[in-house]
Structure 1
Amino acid sequence: MGKKTRTIQQITWFLWFVVLFVWACIATASEAASSVANPGCLENCGDVLVPYPFGIEDLKCAKNESFLLVCNSSTNPPKLYIGGKTLVYKISVENSTATIGIDAAFRCYNETGLKWRFDQKITMSNWPLTFSNSRNKFTSLGCDNLGLMNDANGGFGGGCFSLCGYNESGPPDDGSCSGVGCCQTPIPKHIKTLNITVDKLSSINMTDNSKSNISCIYAFLTDPTLFNMSTIDLHIDPSIDDREGPSGYACGNIGTLCSYSDNGRGYRCSCQEGYMGNPYLPQGCQDINECEDPSTYPCEGTCKNTPGNYTCICPLVMRGDGKVACHGVRLIIIVTVLGAILSFVMSILLIFILYKRRRKEKNFTKHGGLVLQNQRVRIFKEEELIKATNNYGHLLGQGGFGSVYRGVLANDTHIAVKKPRGLDKTDLNQQFQHEICIISQVNHKNVVKLLGLCLHTDIPLLVNEFISNGTLFEHIHKTKSNFLRSWKNCLRIAEETASALNYLHSSADPPIIHRDVKSSNILLDDHHTAKVSDFGASVLIPIGQNGLDIAVQGTLGYLDPEYLTTGNLTAKSDVYSFGVLLVELLTGQNPCTFTRFGERSNLIQYFISSLQNKNLFQILNVEAIDRTEREQILEVAKLVMNCLNGCGEKRTNNDGSGRGSC
């Protein structure tokens, strides 16, 4: 025989074949990159890497008994077996293949005829393997050779035959398999058993120079891309039979894909894009952190890993896909522009701060701060009051020429800040200075105390003590407080108000006319003590004078009719307003909006008429508990009539007690 025939005779009894199997959701970039076996299980048998669902020797390491392998470590190197006797040479995670050894079908002849014969019966019914029709072809090797194949169930049959040309003793030198000394034919899908037989097409006709040699013919499966005279591989798919049902699926939980095998029944597991690892492990595949491998996953901007993918956001002001390229202004230009803008803004801000500080200093000087700061009155900063009032967020009320806001200082002192609004600034400034001039002279327990001033604003602010229980007007007309039905309480409030007015008219130096005595300007503290407030309309009486000719100002319903008609303001004008306040306190009626029989009426005339007709107690809001209190009420009612006399000179106290100070 020739050289080729002698080479064929050296082929071992065991041929190699490759097994395809279903693997993790995403193919791994490297077989040894991470653990591919179950935790606590062997990963290697000698040089063979064993990934799950296969396992070595221990059933807990494999998906089931069909995937269980045996490692014989007594040999050198150790050998791996499936099914107890079939050698496993390689399991590739990257290529999803395995290589195992199996006997081939053959016949060998000598000069006398058939010497050896072996028909191969391959069955993988108990293995998770399927012959790969996409990777394998049935191959017959030898001259005048007829190779046949069929499955155990008789479901198919086929084969091919190879001839040799004249004086040819084997396949051609180029290693091709085209029918001359070698033939190939496809196999069908989803077969798990294969019977291979081989036979001669004719009797042996051996040349003289080969009579002492042995001639063999072979039949087997092999991958055509790997087929040559020194290596013959057989490929098989380990497609897992899907008859196990959903609960028996071998794919892991995370990042895996389950797809039907191309070679027939069953399914395969693989890793989704962006994942890597073993898809057959219970935990599934692991997410690839693309941001850690910029050479493989480029990003010109900010990289953020996402499950199975990653995002790349271009830098600020730039646009485009950061995975490809970002376009726009570069960071150095942005920093330069932002620096210029920041410098401009800081310059404007500095100018504004200096301007505001200079304006505050100017206001402080204009409002007499240089003089007042050396006196007992406290000077507040504007920022201090803004913080105390929560940026003037707690409005208490409005009166005179401004609004009053509640606040709390850092030392927990409660304050009422009077803030002017709605008038010409010149008028406001004059009005404020006028009120400061008046209230700074007052020191009486029944007059609201001045705690300090704020002189840094365009119009100065007054900071008074906070009186917590609201105004007398609210208690009479809104809440209708029960404590005012007691004559004793009403009398006390009347006496405290009269005491404050008497102080203003007689003890202040110079005397002060309040000019706006009314229930909304009488505050009550937690003990219902009366406090006279709001001196925005008040005036000082020059020494040696009893009154002033001044523009009429006050609240209709409380205004002295004599002052209203003549413009002559005296202390008796406050006495008249006090008389109206007493009528309001006794009757619980509003002198500005009093109605009778559905029509507006004059409360003062109604009160005087009731007193004269001796039915006063029928219109009162207070209750007398005994005869003494009834007599006191009648006595005060007569005093009220004196206070309400149309002639100011006749508004005097007729009992000499000083109570009411008319």
Structure 2
Amino acid sequence: MELQMVLFRMLVLVIMCSILNAFARASNVINRSCQEYCGNVSMIPYPFGIGNGCFVDDWFEIVCKSSNDSYDLGFPKPYLKRLDLEVMEIDITFPGRVRVSYPIFSSCTNVTNSTKNLKLEKTPFGFSENDNNFVAMGCNNSASMWSIFPDDSVSYGGCKSPCYRAPFTNGSHCNATNCCQTTIPSYLQAFSTTIQPKLSSSPYNGSNECKYAFLVDQNWFETNFTEPNPNMSVPVVLYWTFDNTTFYSLPTMKNMTAREYKNYTYICHLALVLRNPTNHCDCENGYKGNPYLLGGCGDINECTDPDFNITCTPNTRCENTEGSYRCVAAKNTKLSIIIGVSTSLGVLFLIFSGWGSYKVIKKRMRIKRKEKFFKQNGGLLLQQQLSTNNEVNVENTKLFNSEELEKATDRFSVDRIIGHGGQGTVYKGMLADGRIVAIKKSMVIDEEKLQAFINEVVILSRINHRNVVKLLGCCLETKVPLLVYEFIPNGTLAEYLNGQNEEFSPTWDMRLRIAIEVARALFYLHSAASSPIYHRDIKSTNILLDEKYRAKVADFGISRSVAIEQTHLSTLVQGTFGYVDPEYFRSGQFTDKSDVYSFGVVLAELLTGEKAISSIGARDTKSLAAFFVSSMEENNLFNILDNQVLKEMEKEKIIAVANLAKRCLNLKGRKRPTMREVAMELEANQMSQNLASNLQQKYGEIEDAKTEISKQRDVVSVSTTSSMDSAIAASSFDTQPLFISS
């Protein structure tokens, strides 16, 4: 009886724990009565929401109110309550974006006007660097922006629009006609905009026209933008992040044990880097939905879309599973029909004919699909470029098939990702022959990115240098193009200098050798190649290190080849903040000396260990180039150098390299050295350093030899003295005199 009572009490306890656990989980579910739409926005997902209890905190509260626009007065639209910005679209898939309507800045006078945009300062929101561009419009409009960061540092950017009167039509984009655009820096929350009209001798000098400067969603701008006006607003894409308190208050993070976390269909990441907006949740592969709600991620049925079950062949059947799918052998119903009607030759003929036709049609469909992707990914344009260029041909660039590269990367698993670039994602893979390669999967291709992809293939097919990353081939029969490179195992120079490799620290000899190898590669591109090549994006993240820490220059997406007699290249300003030549930024003319300036920034990074652009630290300016030059002019060089450099190298050698870096960073391109001169000076510095080391070693060997000779002389002296003593002793017993011959 007592045993039954004990068992009954244990059962009640288990039931109560289950009820409490279910109640705890139910308390994390967002109220089903939350309004999910407003006006034209049909989905307002959590962590955003309308009404109490429907959003994660006040910054994500949405209010549905009437617009102030006269033409649609009374029509409700969603607004971020605290920022009073109209919400146009919310995307909670990684990395999380919200598109809002943001006013443009305009000036209709001939005087310089400025404005500050501080609305997002000290909020969880910022302007997405990958989705937005800074645009200036109007005849002879010189527009600039100062990006303002929390530590009061700033970053300068902008562009100048040329003066040519041409109407804007729907579907047009900024093509250097009364318009220019440039990229924006990372983690931007506040900025100041200045419009400075310029006079021109052109008959369309635009003196009575309005000038504009604004941030805008680059995809919307290229497809939907029309003639601007001073009172209009344009779409801008914002990222969002959570502070730690808000992040751990999310339903998917609250009271989660390690076992519960493992069993759910989402992943949540907490960023540990200051101002890095990556606090987010995401659905696991094979699931989609809202990862910020418990049970928000649902299974994807891969069998409904051929793009998700491409491993299944016509002879197999796709079967959906939880989080994935599998290919199972199809039931051979046709064989059963053939056996059942084997007496009818006519039916048998029809069955075999139908099966043959099906196979032929299926094969043609696969071929047409691959041909479609081949054309879509610029295959015809690539063939034209390679066939018209006598220096390269298609045979130099292997065309891989999609199955081979999918197998090499485990179907492009997230575990194989080794980096993200401006043109796409890089995966590590192993080919069937055992070679380890790096496979770059391009982003969704538009006309501009397609040109960059073709350009990189053509240029790398012409280059054969040990300090330039080698292109092994490409694949054009997939939805987006793929590039296959040799695998460079030790990451980028930026990671190496930032101390991410604790086992093999960057010594002075290593830094100098890397600088020489990069200089040799650029000298080869500028002078030794059959026609000069301007890289246009030299930076420490585009310099890779192989297994022996030898430098490999990479990422030729915006590089250009020029004729031998050509002195410069006129283009829209492209590049990376902190590395762009100021003279190129002002004139729009890129020369070989522009690459020299970018190399000077890398050389300054090698000497100081600092980043090219940094908002953290004690230096007065965000730009390393300006900080380095000003420190040298103030005789403050040794206070900014890396401790490893100061500890290992003589000051005279350091000063020689620092002076070379300063010359590369001269604001006037004609006063900068060529890459040939840079490479020769660095090699001379290395040779003098090695010579001094060899002399010191030989001096040590000479001193050791002198010591050894001295010891031998002492031994001989003692031996001779002993012999003479013996001879004298012997002479006392001998009547004949003793003669010692010399």
TM interval, shorter chain, is 0.3 to 0.5
Larger Rg: 1
Relative to its length, the structure with more strand (as a share) is: 1
Which structure's residues are more often helix, by fraction?
2
Larger RCO: 1 or 2 (CA < 8 Å, sep 6+): 1
